[in-house]
Amino acid sequence: MTHPSVDIRALQVRFGAVEAVRHLDLAVRSGGSTALLGRNGAGKSTTMRVVAGVTPATAGDVRVCGIDVRRSALAAKRAIGYCPDVGGLVPRATPWEHLQLSARLRRLDSRWEDDARSLLDRFDLGGAAHRLTSGFSHGMGRRLSVVLAAFHLPDVLLLDEPFDGVDPLGVEATLQVVASARARGAAVLVSTHLLDLAMQACDEAVILRGGLVVGARPAGQLRGDEGAQTYRALLA
């Protein structure tokens, strides 16, 4: 039996007196995509940060492609592409410099440049590839964060609020990125508030409330008006 690409067991994250995530279990198989849904403060971004190796878990076991994120953080990070929920861009570096830094740290061969250029063009960022990101609009920043997460073809793609403030063309490009990642066997975890888009991108959803999983549904059950009502009932 193969391991899930993302395997979270009994995850707990505390910040002082605040328990951000409580006993969370989650698995995303290779080629699968799961949406993390929930209200503000539900623990979605904290979970994403733990999987990305940016925030350590207080307790529990988090594995990416079978690698323990806490014990082998570097190996886990090599397998992951992460789009953080806030900013995610170094203000006084250009998109191309972000890509170069990531390519060097990931030891990619020279073919990455063509892939990156075509991805930048797909996200309508080709013309801004050599401008400082501090001058970018919020939507441009979000789109570039998705490009940075995806261009190195990671085994696990973590997208935290990738649709936030993004125009329809950017949304479409992001959905394409998710689809092509799944097609090549990557596991995708998407955290968002936007139920409709989450259901277009993912085949299942896990709903969090107060750091706890309050429900898990196949995408089909959360689509349309009936799905929205089910979702609202789980949030209440």
Partner 1 sequence: MTIRLSEWRRAVSDVAPLLQFRLADLRGRRRRAAASAIGFFVVLTVAAAAAPAFGPGATTSSKAGDLLILLPTAYLAFLLTTTLAIVGTGGGRELMAADQAVAFPVSPTTDHLGALLLAPLNIAWVLQAWSLLAVTAYVAGTHHLLFVQLMTLSWLAAATAVAQALAWCVEWVRRGPHGIAVVRSTYAVLGLGGAALVATNRLGAVFDASPTVWVVIATLAPLDQHWLTWCLGIAATLSAGALAVALGAGAAHAVSRRTSRDEARAEARAFAPRAMPRSELAALVRTDRASVWRSVPLRRGLIFLAMLPGMVAAAGALPWEMLPILPGLVAAGGALLFGINAWCLDGVGALWRDSEPVDPQLAFVARVWVLLEVLLVATLLMLLVAGVRARGLPNSAEATALGVTVAVVSLQVVARSMQWSVRHPYAVELRSARGTPAPPFVMLGYSAWLALTSTLTGVMFGVTAQASDPTWALILALPLLLAAVRRLVITARDWADPDIRARVVSTVAAR
Task: Return residues touching partner 1 (CB under 8 A).
Answer: 49, 52-56, 70, 73-75, 77-78, 80, 82, 84, 86-94, 96-98, 100-106, 129-135, 145, 148
Rounded Cα distance, 134 and 105, in Å: 23
- In this complex, which beta carbon is closest to partner 1, that of residue 59 or of residue 101? 101
Q: How far is the CB of 129 from partner 1 (least distance, A)?
A: 8
Q: Are 157 and 28 in contact (CB under 8 A)?
A: no
Report how far residue 49's alpha carbon sits from residue 117's, in angstroms, rounded to the nearest whole number: 27
> What minimum distance in Å lies between the beta carbon of 154 and partner 1?
10
Cα separation values, 187 from 79, 122, 154, Å = 10, 22, 9
Cβ nearer to partner 1, comparing 10 with 101 = 101
How far apart are CB 236 and partner 1 at their closest, in Å? 29
With respect to partner 1, which residue has the nearer C-beta, 142 or 217?
142
CA 13, CA 19: separation in Å to the nearest integer? 6
Shortest Cβ 81–partner 1 spacing (Å) = 9
Give the β-pairing of 59-64 and 6-15.
antiparallel
Q: How many residues does the chain have?
A: 236
DSSP run (H or E) holding 68? strand 67-68
Using DSSP's 3-state secondary structure scheme, residue 125 falls into coil
Q: What minimum distance in Å lies between the beta carbon of 78 and partner 1?
A: 4
- Minimal distance, residue 230 CB to partner 1, in Å: 32
Rounded Cα distance, 111 and 229, in Å: 46
Tell me whether residue 73 or residue 228 sits nearer to partner 1 (CB atom).
Answer: 73
Tell the smallest beta-carbon distance from residue 123 to partner 1 (Å). 16
Q: Could you give the angle at which helices 112-122 and 95-105 cross, rounded to 10 degrees?
A: 140
- Residue closer to partner 1 by CB (options 211, 227) is 211
18-28 and 6-15 as β-strands: parallel, antiparallel, unpaired? antiparallel
According to DSSP, the residues that pair with 213 across neighbouring strands are 208
Q: Which is nearer to partner 1, 124 or 172 (CB)?
A: 124
Residue 78 or 209 with smaller CB distance to partner 1: 78
Tokens 């605040």, residue located: 18
